[in-house]
Chain A
Amino acid sequence: MTKNNVVRRIVAIALLLLSHGICAMAATPAPPAAPSASGIEQRVAACIACHGREGATTNAGYFPRLSGKPAGYLFNQLRSFRDGRRFNADMNYMVQHLSDAYLMEMAEYFAGLDLPYPPVSPVSDAPPAQLARGRQLALEGDAARQIPACVQCHGAALTGVQPAIPGLLGLPRLYVSSQLGAWLTSERHALAPDCMADIGRRMTTADINAVASWLAVQPMPADPKPAASLPAALPMRCGGMPK
């Protein structure tokens, strides 16, 4: 086993332990709003035990918010959980027998919700140098190591881009760092070409901690919605984004 592999394994185990411990903090469900004709609110009631009422978790725990994320992104993730590209035992189990059409309906439901974000606490236990490094990675990237800036793909305001690039703000720090860790250790995959896997493998655990810490303390912009499009072409090809 190479040293690099050992490090990756340790990171993976640490993240696994972290995410399992954190799962206990899941939100308590509350009844969703009045049902629509399609009854979709009741049909996705199974999601709220973890993702919160109407998929609007805060950034305090582990589970990511679903509300307002681009539908294409949510759909890609649901399919990835079903088809074995992404791993979370509960998610893999929940969606294993659901059709594309139904997963798309669920994705569109959560994408269409326009709920206020809770205020983000600016307090972080990360040292200032780490936050500065995170800011640099997010806004400028690291050209020498071919790591593009987050803003190049996730939108200038980091609120995501239609139809399939997720926003990076308003998410739990632990969730962001564990996802980046999963890219690093090849435990999360996307449709080929898997651009985030390529970027994730170029990052170190220090990079991941830095960028996750910085992202987690950024306030939501006045307009938290995903951008309609990117001003320039993506720096690399991504299978999740339609050409």
Chain B
Amino acid sequence: MKMRHLGWTLLVLVLLLGAAAGGIVALNLRGEDPLPEQAEAFNATPQRVERGRYLALAGNCAGCHTTRGGQPYAGGLPIETPFGTVYSSNLTPDAQNGIGSWSSAHFWRAMHNGRSKDGRLLYPAFPYPNFTQVTREDSDAIYAYLRSLPPAPAPNLAHRLRFPYDTQAALAVWRALSFKPEAFVANTAKPAEWNRGAYLVGGLGHCIACHGSRDSLGATQVKLGLSGGLIAAENWYAPSLADPHQAGLADWPTADVVALLKNGVAPRGSVMGPMADVVFRSTQHLSEADLAAMASYLKDLPGVPAQAVAPVRPAAATTRRDAGTMARGAKIYDQQCAYCHGDQGQGAPGAFPPLAGNRAVNMAETTNLIQVIAHGGYLPSTAGNPRPYGMPPFGQVLDAGDVAAVLTYIRGSWGNDSAPVTQLDTMRR
């Protein structure tokens, strides 16, 4: 009897497992059109190639698919993730190592369904959860452009992921839970410009890859929108584009949003860290019309209603700052910072940003401030700002205690009234 009982249990288990596997396979195949039996004729007109070049810039494809100083689109860049290192692939038309043997249908399947030519599932470090919204027409244009590039023989590098993330089975489970191919659906209640912006921001722009939060399996949480996220591998915080206390744009003139994306600098902000890279490689190359469309969408994000926002800054009387830390910070500020940012944190118009009243300085999340002090950086050279100003890498001269003290001072002076920064904050990642 016992044996028979065990047999039934095993049978049920096998059937359940089989059903689960079948379900996962089915979920991975949903929305996937069969490949045409014969490669269809593809007409790469000069206009199509040029359109593809532009769209590849909008998607910042080269940002990941090019190593520093390497041949553009030849891949090989290591991309750090919490699950291991993923290497970008060779997108040039090399027959062996690139996409030389791919048809436009193969390329579309990669963009829309996240499946490679050989049938393997792709890792979502390639942001196909966003690119799935890209139209077939735009996918074909990018394909035409990539096929026009000089082929690079660079072989693709094997990813270095931990078990079980290195298995196709794990990826299939992830996709069943977190990915569904879907076309972009226009919001008919909104004007065409807004929809164009939504298409660019949500599709090729893949802004949510940084400005959104991710669940424990690394999937972007679409429901939370562009409400900010920590870029774990780079230790930068991509601020919320919906929160007026972070990088919300609702009260910015459209022209200022366009200027920030086009030039890297605007009257009330500038780009550093990973966003400097985005402006340098991608958005500075986009048309004013497309940038204005993105602005129109971003300014209209369903943000936290202003009246419901809890005051981020506590009342002055309740913020306790250590007098010794403030004195230490003041001394460092006078020696290292005041020359550019002014003795009252007022900055220098057109050159160095003010620190007094600057929302990037007063954000609750201090990761970026610590990064900027440690590593400095120049704003990107763009057509509209070809000779940018820069910040020195003070990690060379300031230790963790110095950084905490000077930030505490800056965040507690000239009307700024934000929480002190501790030495622990400067070491956290």
Contacts and interface: CB of A to CB of B under 8 A. Distances in A.
Interface in B394-418: 394-397
A31 B339 CA distance: 7
Contacts of A97: 276-277, 280, 378-381
Given A83-B69, A98-B381, A50 B396 contact: yes
Contacts of B340: 42, 45
Interface string B56-69: 00000000000111
Interface string A18-51: 0000011010110100000001101111111110
B267 interface: no
Contact of B392 (A31, A46, A105): A46
Interface string B341-374: 0000000100100000000000000000000000
Contacts of A45: 339-340, 389-390, 392
A85 B70 CA distance: 10
Interface string B317-344: 0000000000000000001100110000
Given A84-B67, A99-B381, A99-B386, A90 B376 contact: yes
Given A28-B335, A97-B381, A105-B387, A49 B397 contact: yes
Size class of the B contact interface (CB-based, 8 Å): 20 to 34
A83 B390 CA distance: 19
A169 to B, nearest CB: 24
Contacts of A99: 381, 386
A43 B390 contact: yes
Contacts of A26: 396-397
Given A29-B339, A43-B389, A90 B395 contact: yes
A48 B379 CA distance: 17
A94 to B, nearest CB: 6
Contact of A102 (B69, B381, B394): B381
A95 interface: yes
A90 B391 contact: no
Contacts of B120: none
Nearest to A31: B339
A31 B67 CA distance: 37
A102 B388 CA distance: 9
Contact of A98 (B335, B378, B392): B378
Give the dominant DSSP class at A's interface: helix
B280 A50 contact: no
B351 A48 contact: no
B393 interface: yes
B268 interface: no
Given A84-B67, A95-B378, A46 B396 contact: no
A95 B67 CA distance: 16
B391 A84 contact: no
Interface string A65-85: 000000000000000001111
A1 interface: no
Contact of B393 (A44, A83, A94): A94
Contacts of A40: 387
B124 interface: no
B377 interface: yes
A9 to B, nearest CB: 21
Nearest to A100: B381
Interface in B243-273: none
* Max chain B Cβ within 10 angstroms of own Cβ: one of A26, A31, A85: A26
Contacts of B388: 43, 98, 102
A101 interface: yes
Contacts of A24: 396-397
Contact of A90 (B277, B375, B381): B375
Contacts of A83: 68-69
A93 B390 CA distance: 11
B392 A48 contact: yes
A48 B392 CA distance: 8
Contacts of A84: 67-70
Contacts of A46: 376, 378, 389-392
Contact of B378 (A42, A49, A94): A94
Given A95-B378, A99-B381, A23 B69 contact: no
A43 B387 contact: yes
Nearest to A103: B381
A28 B397 contact: yes
Contacts of B390: 43-46, 94
Interface of A: 23-24, 26, 28-29, 31, 39-40, 42-50, 82-85, 90, 92-99, 101-102, 105
15 contacts: A23-B396, A28-B397, A29-B336, A43-B389, A45-B392, A46-B391, A46-B392, A48-B392, A49-B336, A49-B394, A49-B396, A50-B396, A83-B69, A92-B68, A102-B387
Given A23-B396, A94-B390, 7 more contacts: A24-B397, A43-B390, A45-B390, A83-B68, A84-B67, A93-B376, A98-B388
